[in-house]
A and B are shown apart, each in its own frame.
Chain A
């Protein structure tokens, strides 16, 4: 994919952590991924707005249930990661 140089200004407290976490991948790759993620969420917001027009607001009990599924899965993934790290 083509790349374009972009000059951005970032709050100071973020910079050190970004440098540390970006590591070998480099800051550009890190920022690129963060922007991609943020755009995806913004677009997902549009999809949710469209769905709300057709279906009304999301059912709260169902959302709570789905959140629980995601949280349970995240815990499971962390267990797997810890297990793999120990081996």
Chain B
């Protein structure tokens, strides 16, 4: 079963669901579907660079990470793949975290990436049919 991979916005939406209306409802539905299909829900350690910036919602993000959302480390192989797809998509290092998320999905043998920024991620995942982008 494919992995569900959360990007920064997906994590933020889940951290403060009440303020995020329709996006939160979609994120909730995706997690429900993951639970029904026994699909693991994960994120990348790189995502936490953006998601945990010392705001009040850090506590909420931490709570979610303790509730069955596994954090995958960024190893050498993942970094290399991220660098390659960043080059191929002609994006600069401002998109480094997006590239790491897509590279993590590639290294897992595919994943459903939940994001509110489908354009850049789709561009990065262009040549990888096993990586699907699920917009919020």
Contacts and interface: CB of A to CB of B under 8 A. Distances in A.
Contacts of A23: none
Given A41-B68, A47-B68, A47-B69, A76 B31 contact: no
B109 A67 contact: no
Nearest to B36: A67
A44 interface: yes
Nearest to A52: B28
A2 interface: no
Given A66-B134, A76-B130, A77-B130, A44 B31 contact: yes
Main SS class of interface, A: helix
B110 A55 contact: no
B28 A55 contact: yes
B123 interface: no
B67 A50 contact: yes
A69 B112 contact: yes
Interface string A53-87: 01100110011011101111110110010000000
A31 interface: no
B29 interface: yes
Nearest to B39: A70
B132 interface: yes
A50 to B, nearest CB: 7
A79 B69 CA distance: 27
List the 4 closest pairs (A to B, CB-CB), nearest first: A43-B68, A62-B29, A44-B68, A66-B33
7 contacts: A40-B70, A48-B31, A55-B28, A73-B110, A73-B130, A77-B2, A80-B109
